[in-house]
A and B are shown apart, each in its own frame.
Chain A
Amino acid sequence: MRKTCEAAVRELGGTAVIELTGEVDGGAAGVLNAAYEEAVTQGEPRTVVLDFAHVGYINSTGIALIVSVLARARAERRKVVASGLSEHYREIFDITRLSDFIEVFGDLDAAVSQLAGPAT
């Protein structure tokens, strides 16, 4: 059964986090774009984390949506990182070269702690 994409936006230590759930396909365009808009208007974050831990399916149209988000973030001089990708979608990020532009972390905790830097 098709699982509509949903997004929850929150701020963690100065980083905007977009937690995606469901399927990232053509139907996710509105949700992803709205979530990015909300994320960057909340506090002008330098980094946006896309968390895919609860995403079970990404197709080529979903890849295009991620490319569009990345293009916008680059134009705004923001960094995009990803977390929670399955091994398969990590491979797809490598094949498409998205991982050249989006640092990939194993999970959201790893991404946020790395972005926060070492504790002082």
Chain B
Amino acid sequence: MTSVARPAGPRRLAAFAVPSEPGNERLALAQVAEAVAASGLPPARMERLKTAVAEATMNAIEHGNQGRPDIPVDVEVVQDGDDIIVAITDLGGEHEPGGSVEEPDLLLKLEGEQRARGWGLFLIRNMVDAMHVRTDGPRHTIQLIMRAGAAAAVPHTGGSEGGGDEEDL
């Protein structure tokens, strides 16, 4: 009988930085997708992860680094057992990861009682299995967790897990 054993400890799949310029979230999502291609993440969950990475990187560029190209957004991809963990770090210190904590309500938006924007954080939370935010001085990191392998078969209910270090959203 054969079995496929995953490494016991965390394994870094990629680490890179992108300049804080509009559109560079596409570079980040492409590199993350390449890094996790062999992880066993089903295609639909790969698309979810790509959207979450793009949104988190966009937030880091716009809200964290204020669109300053000289300040990079750091991206690290780690596999820890069945967990794919993507950490996206800007140097904006404490800030709301989506620029807004307001829960988007489509009907309110259609009636002009809420601005049309403000979907970024909502999308991130609904795309991944868990999301954590931490700030260490100027370093502000959003950590996205997606389960690969057998764990990915567990039905996804959306939203972020409760966690001790999760930012109060």
Q: Name A's B-contacting residues (CB within 8 A).
A: 2, 25-27, 57, 59-61, 63-65, 67-68, 70-71, 74, 86-88, 91-92, 95-98, 100-101
Contacts and interface: CB of A to CB of B under 8 A. Distances in A.
Contacts of A88: 44, 47-48, 51
Interface residues of B, number: 28
A64 B112 contact: no
B123 A67 contact: no
Interface of B: 22-23, 25-26, 44, 47-48, 51, 54-55, 58, 104, 106-107, 109-112, 115-120, 122-123, 126, 158
B119 A57 contact: no
Given A59-B54, A88-B47, A92-B123, A101 B106 contact: yes
Contacts of A87: 44, 47
A106 to B, nearest CB: 17
Given A68-B116, A88-B48, A95 B123 contact: yes
28 contacts: A2-B23, A2-B26, A26-B22, A27-B22, A27-B23, A57-B54, A60-B117, A60-B120, A60-B122, A63-B119, A63-B123, A64-B117, A64-B119, A67-B109, A67-B110, A70-B110, A71-B116, A74-B110, A87-B44, A92-B123, A95-B123, A95-B158, A96-B104, A96-B106, A96-B119, A96-B123, A100-B106, A101-B106
Contacts of A2: 23, 26
Nearest to B46: A88
B106 A60 contact: no
Nearest to B23: A2
Contacts of A101: 106, 110
